[in-house]
Amino acid sequence: MSAIVLFLAVIAVIAGWWLSHQRLTAKPWLEEGPIGDFPGTDAMTWPAAKIGLGVFLAVASALFVLFISAYSMRMAMVDWRALPVPRLLWFNTGVLVLSSVALQWSYVAARRDDTDGVMIGLLAGGAAAIIFLAGQLLAWQQLSAAGYFMASNPANSFFYLLTAVHGLHLTGGLVALGRTSAKVWRHDAATAEMRLSVELCTIYWHFLLLVWLVLLGLLTGWTDNFVDICRQLLS
């Protein structure tokens, strides 16, 4: 559980930093009067959707970190047999990176009011994400063809589970991406709303890429040493 406690500590630091700017030590009963006297303590001025995405990313991170916590605890049991990582995963990782790059392209284009660029970026990013998902399915197929079934070892179970959860998040992202693309399609000129949608998709894509890299590190065993250190901290 050390991973999730560490993660929550990070969240607590961020929340504490924000709260420390909210004048929590003020004596509100003495501060009768209009607003504007205390700049920065009013409601956040970011768009709601952007804050919403930020909070959602925290929730999704908590979910993945909890899976990682469970992974590291289950890994300590004697019956754990690491499974060979299919080579295909490297190709998939490359595709996912390309997908993120395409969305970044789209985001930059949106800031320049280049609707065609936005559209190209979104479509390329979406296509790459779909290829990634198809590649993941293919990796599952290769593994099960090689006899690594879901239930035969906890390492296998976690492999299928973690890739599935990540894939589901990406699928959800594709729905949002589709809606954004439709929005861009309907408008000729970039609107603020459209720019925001593209930005949020891009943030989400980068997040999922980061999650995937962490999961990949876990599944390939690169992070074993780190996991060991964390485990020793707790026992």
Partner 1 sequence: MVDVPYDGIAGIPPAEVPDVELYHPKSWWTRYVFSQDAKVIAVQYSLTASAIGLVALVLSWLMRLQLGFPGTFSFIDANQYLQFITMHGMIMVIYLLTALFLGGFGNYLIPLMVGARDMVFPYVNMLSYWVYLLAVLVLASTFFVPGGPTGAGWTLYPPQAILSGTPGQDWGIILMMASLILFIIGFTMGGLNYVVTVLQARTRGMTLMRLPLTVWGIFTATVMALLAFPALFVASVMLLLDRLLGTSFFMPSLVEMGTLSKYSGGSPLLFQHLFWFFGHPEVYIVALPAFGIVSDLISTHARKNIFGYRMMVWAIVGIGALSFVVWAHHMYVSGMFPQFGYFFATTTLIIAVPTAIKVYNWVLTLWRGDIHLTVPMLFALGFIITFVNGGLTGLFLGNVVVDVPLSDTMFVVAHFHMVMGVAPIMVVLGAIYHWYPKVTGRMLNDVLGKFHFWVTFLGAYLIFFPMHYLGLLGVPRRYFELGDAAFIPPSAHSLNAFISVVALTVGFSQMVFLFNLVWSLFRGEPSGGNPWRATTLEWQTPETPPGHGNWGKELPIVYRWAYDYSVPGAEQDFIPQNQPPRATRAAQGAAS
Give the footprint of partner 1 on this chain (CB under 8 A): 1, 4-5, 8, 11-12, 15, 19, 22-29, 31-36, 38-39, 41-46, 48-49, 51-52, 55-56, 58-59, 62-63, 66-67, 69-70, 73-74, 77-80, 150-151, 154, 157, 161, 165, 235
Report the residue number, 32 or 188, with the smaller CB distance to partner 1. 32
Rounded to a whole number of angstroms, the minimum distance from the CB of residue 203 to partner 1 is: 15
In terms of CB distance, is 9 or 94 closer to partner 1? Answer: 9
- Minimum distance from CB of 232 to partner 1 (Å)? 12
Q: Please, which residues have CB within 8 angstroms of residue 187's CB and are 6 or more apart in sequence?
A: 115, 194
**Nearer to partner 1 by C-beta: 94 or 172?**
172
Amino acid type, 78: V
CA separation for the pair 182, 65 (Å, rounded): 33
Q: Tell me how far, at minimum, the Cβ of 132 lies from partner 1, in Å.
A: 22
How far apart, in whole angstroms, are the C-alpha atoms of residue 4 and residue 47? 29
Q: Are 199 and 154 in contact (CB under 8 A)?
A: no
Question: Which helix (DSSP H) or strand (DSSP E) does residue 231 occupy?
Answer: helix 224-234
Measured from the CB of residue 14, what is the shortest distance to partner 1 in angstroms?
12
Encoded tokens for 109: 């284009």
Residue 175 CB-density burial (10 A; 0-12 exposed, 13-18 middle, 19+ buried): exposed
Q: Which is nearer to partner 1, 52 or 94 (CB)?
A: 52
Nearer residue to partner 1 within complex by CB, 54 or 221: 54
